[in-house]
């Protein structure tokens, strides 16, 4: 059965309801999309926080070591927060497309120098529990829209780490250190961009970037759908 016809039948059986407000008709309605709080320049060129330069960035003491740059499309708040939660924890995969669309829009305004997209991987046990990797769904859509190749196979999470929720920034770094390994075609000279749903402290993205650097990547950026505001992200640091 063609995918479009199958999707149409599903919509008849289970009519779409907005993940943000519950209105019928779409998975993320126009009214909720207009409430998205875009992260606008000026931004720190290194970590993407609102700042004119690294010297005046509120997170300058915790800038990424292995990432060349980090960007997020919007703040993790309002309807966007609800939609990301439904994608990640309630299995509403249909939300991947509109959420990835936010990354595409932000990317086109502020494109990182990257020619290959790599989604942040989950450990195999987590994939079996959840049934999918939300970062891989997002990366597939972003890659199609931007015409960029996606490698969702060769960066792996080789160690099952405890959840990062509730850990301080320093604890998060320790928790995921050495948890990723790249085993694929040479990345020598390649400019790579990691894709994920949310960046909190950036510890997971940093651990992924370290593995890609070891594999020869010339530069590693990261792009996420959202991030919490700095004071919320670092309150436990």
Residue 43 lies in domain: 3-233
Q: Distance between CA atoms of 119 and 139, rounded to whole angstroms?
A: 6
Asked if pLDDT for residue 40 goes beyond 60, the answer is: yes
Q: Distance between CA atoms of 68 and 193, rounded to whole angstroms?
A: 10
> What are 217's strand-pairing partners?
188
Asked if pLDDT for residue 12 goes beyond 50, the answer is: no
* Residue found under tokens 């996606």: 150
Q: What is the pLDDT of residue 54?
A: 87
Lowest-confidence segment of 12-21, 41-50, 66-75 by average pLDDT: 12-21
Reported as a single tens digit per residue, the pLDDT across 157-209 is 988 765 666 555 666 665 676 789 999 999 999 999 999 999 988 999 999 99
- The phi, psi pair for 4, rounded to 5°, reads -65, -40
% helix / strand / coil in the chain, to the nearest 5?
Answer: 40, 20, 45
Asked if pLDDT for residue 22 goes beyond 90, the answer is: yes
- The phi, psi pair for 181, rounded to 5°, reads -145, 135
Instruction: Specify the length of the chain in residues.
Output: 237
Quote the number of domains for the chain.
1
Strand order of the β-sheet with 191-198 is 69-75, 219-227, 191-198, 116-119
Query: What secondary structure letter does DSSP report for 164?
Result: -
- The phi, psi pair for 183, rounded to 5°, reads -140, 80
**What own/partner pairs with CB < 8 Å and gap ≥ 24 does 25-28 have?**
27/83, 27/92, 27/94, 27/95, 27/98, 28/79, 28/83, 28/95, 28/98, 28/99
Q: What is the pLDDT of residue 153?
A: 96
Q: Distance between CA atoms of 160 and 122, rounded to whole angstroms?
A: 9
Lowest-confidence segment of 3-12, 111-120, 194-203 by average pLDDT: 3-12
CATH code, domain with 60 = 3.40.50
Q: Tell the burial category of 114 from Cβ atoms under 10 Å away from its Cβ (0-12, 13-18, 19+).
A: buried
């Amino acid at each position: 059965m063609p995918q479009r016809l199958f999707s149409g039948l599903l919509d008849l059986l289970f009519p779409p309801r907005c993940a943000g407000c519950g209105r019928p008709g779409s998975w993320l309605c126009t009214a909720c999309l207009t409430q998205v709080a875009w992260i606008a320049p000026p931004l720190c060129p290194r970590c993407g926080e609102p700042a004119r330069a690294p010297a005046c960035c509120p997170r300058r003491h915790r800038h990424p070591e292995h990432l060349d740059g980090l960007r997020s499309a919007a703040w993790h708040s309002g309807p966007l927060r609800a939609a990301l939660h439904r994608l990640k924890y309630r299995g509403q995969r249909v939300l991947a497309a509109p959420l990835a669309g936010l990354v595409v829009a932000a990317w086109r305004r502020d494109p990182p120098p990257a020619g290959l997209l790599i989604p942040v991987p989950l450990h195999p046990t987590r994939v079996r529990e959840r049934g999918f990797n939300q970062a891989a769904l997002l990366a597939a859509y972003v890659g199609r829209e931007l015409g960029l190749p996606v490698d969702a196979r060769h960066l792996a999470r080789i160690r099952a780490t405890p959840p990062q929720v509730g850990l301080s920034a320093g604890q998060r770094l320790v928790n995921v250190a050495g948890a990723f390994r790249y085993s694929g075609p040479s990345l020598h000279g390649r400019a790579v961009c990691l894709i994920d749903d949310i960046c909190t402290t950036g510890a997971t993205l940093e651990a992924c970037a370290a593995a890609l650097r070891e594999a020869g990547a010339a530069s590693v950026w990261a792009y996420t759908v959202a991030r919490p505001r700095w004071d919320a992200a670092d309150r436990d640091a």
